[in-house]
Every structure is written in C-alpha cells, then in structure tokens.
Chain A
Amino acid sequence: MMQGSRERLLNQIRAIEFTTLELNLFLNSHPDNQQALRDFNNGVRQLKALKNEYERRFGPLVNFGFGYSRCPWQWINEPWPWEADSNRGCY
C-alpha cells in the first residue's frame, strides 16, 4: 500500500519531469519559442508541488541538502532505484 502509493507518485514525477526535460532540450536550440517556455514553466510549477509532496511523505529525493529528512536519516532508506522492488507495488 505504502509502496504502491510511493511508486504512483514517483511515476507522476517521472511524467512531468520527462516533459520539462524534453522542453529544456528543445529550448536549448529554440530559445525564443514562447509556447515551449510557457509549457516549461507550467511543468516546473507542477513538478515542484509533486516533489514537495514526495519528500514530505517519503524523505529526500535529492541528496546534498535539496530535501528535508526526518530522524533517523532517511536518505539511506532502501530500496535504491536499481533494485527491482523500488519500481514494484500494488496501485
């Protein structure tokens, strides 16, 4: 249950981050494209909200001070991304 909702939230983050990554690369070669820039900034807003929710519930998503941790230190929590069960779960 916990695992399933974590993975569902991660997949939402993946989906939005994929669009912002794609728009970022596109904007690198089309810096004057206003529609792409609007979509990018819109994605940034959604991504920030989703990442805040993730970190509040499951601990830091990014190392080195880009997310808060509760006690005990949550960064070392398993599973790590290369472990299959990090992507498994009941939705």
Chain B
Amino acid sequence: MWLYEKKLQYPVNIKKPNYKLGAAILNQFGGPDGELAASLRYLSQRPSMPIPEAKAMLNDIGTEELAHFEMIQAMVHQLMKDEPIEKIAADGATSVYYTDHGRATWPGTGTGVPWTAAYIQSKGDPIADIYENMAAEQKARATYEYLIDLADDPDVIDPLRWLREREVVHFQRFGEIMNKLYEWKDSKKCF
C-alpha cells in the first residue's frame, strides 16, 4: 500500500501568477512524457521483472514519480490561482483551457488532450520495458529543458531544474538495472 507524507519532496513557492506558463507545465502532469505516465508505467511493469533489483527499482522510482506529480500540481496551481481573468481571456489558447477546467489541475495537457495509457507500455519483456523507461527518462529531461526555455521566473525555473536532474539520476539507475538484466539472461541455465 501507499502512505501520504504531507510535504512536497522539494519546495514550490511561486509568487507571480502566469496562467499560460502553468498550462505549459501541465503537460508534465498529464502529458505524454509527464510524471503520471512515468509513475504508472513503472508501477505497472513491476510484476514482469525477474530479478529483485529490478522489482525494487521500479517500485521506488514509480513511487518517487508520484511525488513529482504532486510538485507539478503545486506549480500549476500556484501559477494559475491568482492570474487576472483579463489576461487569461486575452490569449486564445489559455482561454480554451479555462473554458473546460477553470484554474483546476486536470491530468492532461494544457491544450486539452486527456491523459491516456497509450502513452506508456508494459510489455511483459524486462529488456523491452527497461529500454522504454530509459527513453522515457530522456524524453522527460528534454521536456524539462524546453519548459526551462519557456520560463523566466526563478521561482519556476528552480524546481524545474531540480526535476530535470531527477530524470538524469533515474536514467542512470535504469541503466544499471539493464546491465543486471543482461547478466541474469547470460547466467540462465536451461536444463
């Protein structure tokens, strides 16, 4: 089971509203390379793993991704909450998100594309799954770099940089699991 710890993994404290930037960052909430996809991808794949190191890694990184999901939620919420309606209305793209979701955090993209399990794979083949995860970590790293390009507020850039670094660490850990899986395959004896 899971427990909830009543704190963010890394603090988010945004003072200046920016609805449009919030809508862009929402893609890391419920978009194709976002934190929800990451978490559900890893947690879904757990039973397919043949070695204890891989089971533990998917379990724990899948859990950490939920903490990142919550950080993104905090960022989007704080960016959207106090934006004057005139500013939202003046932008065609953001007024479309506002029409459907107001200032809510919705698990989809800022342009209204809903989250879908089609973003992720759970193949039942440990090598295929871990390669998928390594690619996912690189795609999320690239997304954070694009978001950092779009952001101009240090209160936003700081947690984005921190989240980007987590993608790099997770990629490294999955790479180590990949090596262990190849060792496991090579050591398998057929009788």
Q: Which residues of A come within 8 Å of B, CB atoms? A: 7, 10-11, 13-14, 17-18, 21-22, 24-26, 28-31, 60-64, 66, 75, 80-84, 86-88
Contacts and interface: CB of A to CB of B under 8 A. Distances in A.
Nearest to B5: A62
A10 to B, nearest CB: 5
Interface residues of B, number: 30
A10 B169 CA distance: 23
Contacts of B53: 28-29, 31
A42 to B, nearest CB: 19
Contact of A28 (B9, B57, B78): B57
12 contacts: A18-B10, A24-B60, A25-B64, A29-B53, A62-B5, A62-B6, A75-B6, A81-B74, A82-B12, A82-B77, A82-B78, A84-B74
Q: Is the interface of B mostly helix, strand, loop or mixed?
A: helix
A38 B4 CA distance: 27
Contacts of B56: 28
Interface stretch (B85-93, B136-144, B172-180): B172-180
Contacts of B5: 61-62
- Nearest 7 pairs between A and B by C-beta? A29-B176, A82-B74, A87-B13, A87-B11, A28-B56, A81-B8, A28-B57
B4 A62 contact: yes
A10 B7 contact: yes
Given A25-B169, A29-B53, A29-B180, A84 B12 contact: yes
Contacts of A18: 9-10
Contacts of A66: 3
Contacts of A83: 74, 77
A82 B70 contact: yes
B3 A63 contact: yes
Interface in B145-170: 169-170
Given A25-B169, A25-B173, A81-B6, A14 B11 contact: yes
Nearest to A63: B4
Contacts of A86: 7-8
